[in-house]
Amino acid sequence: MKILVSAGEASGDLYCSRLINHLRTLSDAPLEFFGCAGPRMRAEGVRPIVEAEALSVVGLFEVVRHIPRIYGEFRKLVRAAQQEKPKLAILTDSPDFHLRLAKKLKRMGIPVVYLVAPQAWAWRKWRGRQMARDLAQLYCIFPFEELFFQSYGVPTQYIGHPLANLIKPRFSTQEFRANHGLDPARPIVTLLPGSRLGETDRHLDVLIEASELIRKATRVNILWATAPGFLNRADLAHLGARFRERISAASIQVVEGETWDCMAASRIVLAASGTVTMEAALLGIPMVTFYKVSPLSWNLGRWLVDVPHLTMVNLIAGRRLVPELMQNECTASNLAREALRIFDDGAARNEMIRGLAEVSTKLSGSKDPLESAARDIRERFL
């Protein structure tokens, strides 16, 4: 039984790989998965028609120069669906890409399940009507999303946040420090500039400058947590050459493939707004969030986005729990100032930790969200 699966981001690759694992366990018949796959999905045996890294672009205007290449990957998936006639399609994240794909698949008579709802409640609310037309099922991971999408007629089920059951450091703080030769007397600050090349390129300069300011104020270990093999990618050759000397001069230690352990051992993290902020919240680690895109993307986005906060942790909390340093506010001095403000024990730090515990409680449940989704898929579609 063939199933098309597609994920365009690192978080979606993780969630989809776990969903696939559950589907294989629950299914009585052998399942064959193919589609757009990241490293975790490929490790689960997904046959890649497209590699997920090819879709990893952020920004309304940044994406423009990549459109011909992305459209080429889109056509590969459409052709594969036409030729292999899967019984079901499971699409995760990357709504600009996947909602167009869902429309094509629906016309082929292939039921489409969507995992992790697009943020249509923040902007592009008209997508609700499109999703009602093209999706057989939507699984959302934030509690306020279910009613929003149901109001548009989208078959929606809230399953809970997958990270609540997945996130688990492998080592204790003491073991982690020993593994990396870190001075036990110095607290850890972890830098998380983003999982995509463009995010890292935009953010790393300011993070290095902020690190230097923090180091002047207090004695710390500063780590940059990256995905496995991130700095060895061919398309990162220019980035490595540009930053390697500065990273070394700033005494920033690069740690690959241990992001959760880096965060769990940290006094504070400086995190690009995105899934990683939810990971830090679930680990209960104080943070400063930030993000930058091109001026054109920012100016247009601010007109289109209709939410009181831009970081998901703050949206779930219902208040400005963690600092948001977006666009022009994303400067080294601002990052360092906010980090140092919540670095030492005090009212600000304790209030943030209490708030993060509230967010974690809202996202956690007794059941594995991805197993729940897999059981529903098996019963209804397989």
328: domain CATH number is: 3.40.50.2000
CA–CA dist 1, 49 (Å, integer): 17
What pLDDT was estimated at residue 239? 62
Domain check: are 189 and 151 in the same one? no
Quote the pLDDT of residue 242. Answer: 65
Q: What is the pLDDT of residue 61?
A: 44
In this prediction, residue 60 carries a pLDDT of 44
Residues 372 and 355 in one domain: no
By the 8 A CB rule, do 97 and 238 touch?
Answer: no
> What burial letters (b/e) apply to 108-120, b meaning 16+ CB within 10 Å?
eebbbbbbbbbbb
Whether residue 166 lies inside any domain: the answer is no
Q: Based on the fold, state whether residues 245 and 145 are members of the same structural domain.
A: no
Q: Residue 231 sits in which domain range? A: 173-363
Pair (37, 156) in one structural domain: yes
Question: Residues 178, 282: one domain?
Answer: yes
Residues 374 and 348 in one domain: no
Residues 258 and 140 in one domain: no
Q: What pLDDT sits at residue 59? A: 46
Query: Are 150 and 185 contained in the same domain?
Result: no
pLDDT value for 238:
61
Q: Would residue 167 count as lying in a domain?
A: no
CA distance 149 to 135: 11
Asked if residue 131 and residue 180 are part of one domain, the reply reads no
Report the number of distinct structural domains present in the chain: 2
Residues 156 and 191 in one domain: no
Residue 79's nearest CA partner among 111, 113, 34, 42 is 34
**d(C-alpha 2, C-alpha 34), whole Å:** 8
Asked, for residue 165, whether it belongs to a domain, the answer is: no
- pTM for the model stands at 0.79
For the chain, residues with pLDDT lower than 50 are: 58-62
Query: In terms of domains, do 238 and 340 share one?
Result: yes
Please name the residue ranges forming H helices in the chain: 10-26, 39-43, 67-84, 95-107, 127-134, 145-150, 163-166, 173-179, 197-217, 237-249, 259-264, 275-283, 295-304, 312-317, 332-341, 347-363, 369-381
Q: Work out the end-to-end distance of the chain between its first and last CA atoms, rounded to an integer number of angstroms.
A: 9
What's the pLDDT at 150? 97
| Residue 61 DSSP class | T
Shared-domain flag, residues 218 and 288: yes
255 is a domain residue: yes
pLDDT for the residue 7: 94
